[in-house]
Amino acid sequence: MTITAAAVARVLADAGIERVFGLPGGEVLVLMDELRRVGVDFVLMRHEANAGIAAAVYGKLRGQPGVVLTTLGPGAANLMLPLCSSLLDQEPLLAISAQIPDDFPASHTHQLLPLHEVYRPVSKCVAKITGQNVNDVVPRALAECMKRPFGPAYLTLSAREALKPADDAPKRVAIASNDDAPAGRDGRAGQKAEELIGLLAKSRRPLVVIGLGIDPSNAARIRRWLDGWDLPVMVTPKVKGIVDETAPNFVGVASGMAADDLMCDALKAADLLIGFGLDPVEIDKTWHAELPIHWILEAPNVGGTVPPGTELVDHAQVLDRLLDHQPPSTWRAPFGEFQQKRRAMLTDRSGPSASDAMWPGDIVQALAAALPPETIVTTDVGSHKYLFGQFWPSRQPETFWMSNGLSGMAYGLSAALGAKLARPDVPVLAAVGDGGFSMNAQELETAERVGAPFVTVVLEDCSYSLIKLSQEGKQLEPYRVDFGPIDTVKMAESCGVEGLRTSNPDELAAAARRAAERRRSLVIAVPVSYADYRRLF
Ligand SMILES: Cc1ncc(C[n+]2csc(CCOP(=O)(O)OP(=O)(O)O)c2C)c(N)n1
């Protein structure tokens, strides 16, 4: 006889899941033990939200759903952030939590929450695992996560049900993303390519904007097309690295990062905007609805939306068709002035800065020079995200991770942990604010314990600086956006991680390089002045 918990574990193991992230309660111990028996490691974390974020990034980098396991009640309630993040940031996540058994007395309300009702609006699939349905429900939930747009599924398993016999023998499941070409897509790719060639032939200032809906496997193709035709390109933050941002045709990062006014002006100056996998979920303004965009989508955007009149096409096929042709025109750096202004913003340090603070531009430049191009960078949410989002020179696909659909703080450090477990051979850098760092710094201990060393740079200004700048912008009185210092170095050391503080770019670069080479965790505190961000936004 196979118990239901064992059947869940077997389905996950057969689907290639090697790690489940989480924080247990008594009600999930049997499932945890069954996972252990089938060789699925449990990554024990210190908050369920962090576990969910780490799992989702780990999963996306491995091309499968991340899996997070929590207890019922409070543990399950802590899943709201990662489920919402998975939904809006297209990071596949299967969350499983315990629940009060159905046959408990009706008067038993301790830790009882309407979990399915709460999570249904933010999940692609919600179900209760039972002995009868386990071999259907779990594979289906895994598959749902990987249907584009990627997202979350939520399952519950009560401790009683976990011990009941499972009906069928577990089946093998293959998790694949659902880009099986719908009928007619082949022909549409040819038409779409012809249409684009016609539009580009007439355009004097075309701009390709690549978004979250592109599959990283198309990076080489899209680079060949853009570079070969010398087409100007922008990306949204979550696909940074799909093109080489040090290439001459790279115009900048669209959607709410530093230099956004400049980027919006560039978008308006284009006479042809090609939205290649562009997903408005990343855009905090409304230009995606106001400017005429020629959409090239192969899957619906977040929320299942497709712009009116847009037919889905296969990106690889469209690109292959385009690559069969010569460019229909030539464009001589039509966004040159924007590119130059963008570069100047990073290096222009005129104006006041606190004496012990490092110019934010120097932080990015020092780290980019010190770390190899394959380095995975994660950011938290705040002014530092805008800085790194715009100016970190991403060079390779899937090397930049931020929460930009949900834009939820406490993402950066957990994402770094998940990324390092998924890609143990590449250096990982987490760039976080001191506000965000204090939300989940304790996971540094987790990272040490599970063998996932990464470098964390904490930009210290004792404020929620992005919100402080917003308060200033609204001409409000300064009010409750500053906080007192917490010693970042001591915090790191108390988690068993080396820490240092520096205001010197060379020292920052040398320390980050050394830690990456030695595969050691390191936390570097860098004082910044919130006022310096004014010149970048
Ligand atoms: C969970 C969550 N709470 C609140 C916010 C609103 N918010 C956005 S940025 C920010 C400030 C972040 O401060 P810090 O981590 O110090 O970064 P900084 O802006 O100083 O770079 C806040 C509070 C959010 N995005 N997510």
Q: pLDDT per residue over 357-406, tens digit each?
A: 999 999 999 999 999 999 999 999 999 999 999 999 999 999 999 999 99
Q: Is 126 helix (H, G, I), strand (E, B) or coil?
A: strand
Are 224 and 247 within 8 A, CB to CB? no
Integer Cα distance of 412 and 350 in angstroms: 30
d(CA 502, CA 428): 20
Q: What is the pLDDT of residue 355?
A: 78
Average pLDDT over residues 172-191: 65
Q: Report the separation in Å between the CA atom of 337 and the middle of ligand 1, taken as the mean of its atom positions.
A: 32
CA distance 525 to 537: 23
Residues in CB range of 342: below 8 A, 6 or more apart: 251, 252, 259, 262, 263, 390
For residue 381, how far is its CA from the centre of ligand 1 (angstroms)? Answer: 5
Query: Which is more confident, 31 or 347?
Result: 31
Write the pLDDT tens digit of every residue in 517-527.
999 999 999 99
> What is the rounded CA–CA span in Å between residue 483 and residue 453?
29
Is the pLDDT assigned to residue 180 strictly greater than 80? no
Residue 230 has pLDDT above 80, yes or no: yes
Going by alpha carbons, the residue nearest to atom 25 of ligand 1 is: 408
Instruction: Give the pLDDT band (50/70/90) at residue 174.
Output: low
Give the residue-averaged pLDDT of 178-182.
Answer: 50
**Separation of alpha carbons 454 and 486, rounded Å:** 21
Sequence-distant (≥ 6) Cβ neighbours of residue 73 within 8 angstroms = 25, 110, 111, 112, 113
What is the pLDDT, as a whole number, of residue 114?
A: 98
Percentage above 90 pLDDT, the chain? 93
Q: Report the separation in Å between the CA atom of 330 and the middle of ligand 1, taken as the mean of its atom positions.
A: 43
How far does residue 238's CA lie from ligand 1's centre (Å)? 18
- Is 185 a residue whose pLDDT tops 90? no
Cα dist from 417 to 18, 149, 332, 397, 513, whole Å: 15, 24, 43, 18, 18
Atom number, ligand 1, closest to the C-alpha of residue 434: 16
Top mutation candidate among 387, 388, 409 for ligand 1, by most atoms within 8 Å of CB: 409
Residues lining ligand 1, CB < 6 A? Answer: 380-384, 407-409, 433-436, 459, 461, 463-467
Question: Which among 403, 434, 438, 464 is the best mutation to test ligand 1's pocket, defined by most ligand atoms within 8 Å of the CB?
Answer: 464
**The pTM is what?**
0.97
Could you report the per-residue pLDDT of 90-147, keeping only the tens digit for each? 999 999 999 999 999 999 999 999 999 999 999 999 999 999 999 999 999 999 999 9
Residue whose token pair is 């394959």? 374
Q: If you take atom 19 of ligand 1, which residue's CA is the nearest one?
A: 382
Q: What's the token pair of residue 136?
A: 């259907």
In the predicted structure, residue 168 carries a pLDDT above the cut 90: no
Percent residues over pLDDT 70 in the chain: 97
153, 142 in Cβ contact below 8 A? yes
pLDDT (mean) for 221-241: 98
Q: Quick one: CA dihedral 265, 269, 273, 276, positive or negative?
A: negative
pLDDT of residue 184: 63
Asked if 461 contacts 527 with a C-beta cutoff of 8 angstroms, the reply is: yes
Mean pLDDT value across residues 277-294: 97
What is d(CA 28, CA 521) in angstroms, rounded to the nearest whole number?
31
CA 385 to ligand 1 center in whole angstroms: 10
Q: Are 100 and 156 in contact (CB under 8 A)?
A: no
The dihedral of CA 465, 77, 46, 126: what is its sign? negative
Q: CA 445 to CA 414: how far, in whole Å?
A: 12
Mean per-residue pLDDT, 432-455: 98
Q: How far apart are CA 151 and CA 136, in angstroms?
A: 19
Which range, of 198-202, 419-423, 531-535, averages the lowest pLDDT? 531-535
In the prediction, which pLDDT does 74 show? Answer: 98
At residue 182, the pLDDT reads 52
Q: Is the pLDDT of residue 89 over 70?
A: yes
Amino acid symbol at 522: L
Buried b (16+ CB within 10 A) or exposed e, 440-451: bbbbbbbbeebe
Distance in Å, CA 465 to ligand 1 centroid: 8
Which residue has its alpha carbon closest to ligand 1 atom 20?
Answer: 465
Report H helices in 304-411.
315-323, 336-347, 360-370, 383-391
The Cα angle at residue 440 between residues 438 and 446, in degrees rounded to 5: 135
- Among protein residues, the one with the nearest Cα to ligand 1's atom 18 is 382
Mean pLDDT (whole number) for 212-232 = 98
Q: What is the pLDDT of residue 187?
A: 81
**pLDDT value at position 352?**
64
Which strands sit side by side in the sheet containing 206-210, from one edge to the other? Answer: 250-253, 233-235, 206-210, 272-276, 293-296
